[in-house]
Amino acid sequence: MRKIDTGKLVVITGPMFSGKTSRLLELLEREMRAGRKTILFKPEIDKRYSNAHVVTHKGIALPAIISPIDSKARKFILEKSKGFDVIGVDEAQFWDPKSNLHNLLEELVFLKKLIYVSALNKNIKNEAFETTSKLLSSADEIYTLTSVCAKCGNDATLTQKIRNNKEVFKKVIDVGGNDKYEPRCRNCYVQYRHK
Ligand SMILES: [Zn+2]
């Protein structure tokens, strides 16, 4: 294994459907090919999923651990990541701001761990996720990905929630895929009207 000279926090951000998780897995896979022990944390948002292995495009399996997203996250992640060189975190926006995920991950960076995090940039009202914002401030390196606007094909940086072909702004945290959301560019994004 190539020794890790310095820790690093890498954040991959962008709207939904911009390939954040794929990029995260690619980066983790590179580290595994370099012989580094790698672990992936996923948020506990859907109890149907249990701990499992994620198999990357190239067929490398890595352990994926479901983590609490509240104040219990700190102890849990520190404990589970012992003995690992590289730590991935998927869908980091779901961690509660009270978890102070950015502080915890920076602690690990100072222990010379390589941390790769994917995080949604904005919610459906074009507002920042507090956890994502703090991670971006703490990052050593940031990848900003774009998607393709569902309306016009321009680069999309925002996520619109759709119901019956209409833009909606209810239930900001709502797990779903292209049945509920679509990527939009600045021109096609319909803004939330604050009353
Ligand atoms: Zn557009």
Residue 175 Cα, ligand 1 centroid: separation in angstroms?
A: 23
* Catalytic residue chosen out of the listed positions 26, 29, 79, 91: 91
Among the listed ranges 36-40, 60-64, 165-169, which one has the minimum average pLDDT value? 60-64
Residue 91 falls in the annotated catalytic set:
yes
Among the listed ranges 3-12, 54-63, 148-157, which one has the minimum average pLDDT value? 54-63
pLDDT in tens, 122-156: 999 999 999 999 999 999 999 999 999 999 999 99
Residue 183 Cα, ligand 1 centroid: separation in angstroms?
A: 8
Instruction: Return the amino acid letter for 95.
Output: W
CATH superfamily of 8-146: P-loop containing nucleotide triphosphate hydrolases (3.40.50.300)
Residue 160 Cα, ligand 1 centroid: separation in angstroms?
A: 11
Residue 146 Cα, ligand 1 centroid: separation in angstroms?
A: 12
pTM beyond 0.95, yes or no: no
Instruction: Return contacts of 103-112, CB within 8 angstroms, 24+ apart.
Output: 104/73, 104/74, 104/77, 104/78, 105/9, 105/135, 105/138, 106/9, 106/138, 107/78, 108/7, 108/78, 108/81, 109/7, 109/8, 109/9, 109/140, 110/7, 111/7, 112/4, 112/5, 112/6, 112/7
143 vs 179, more confident? 143
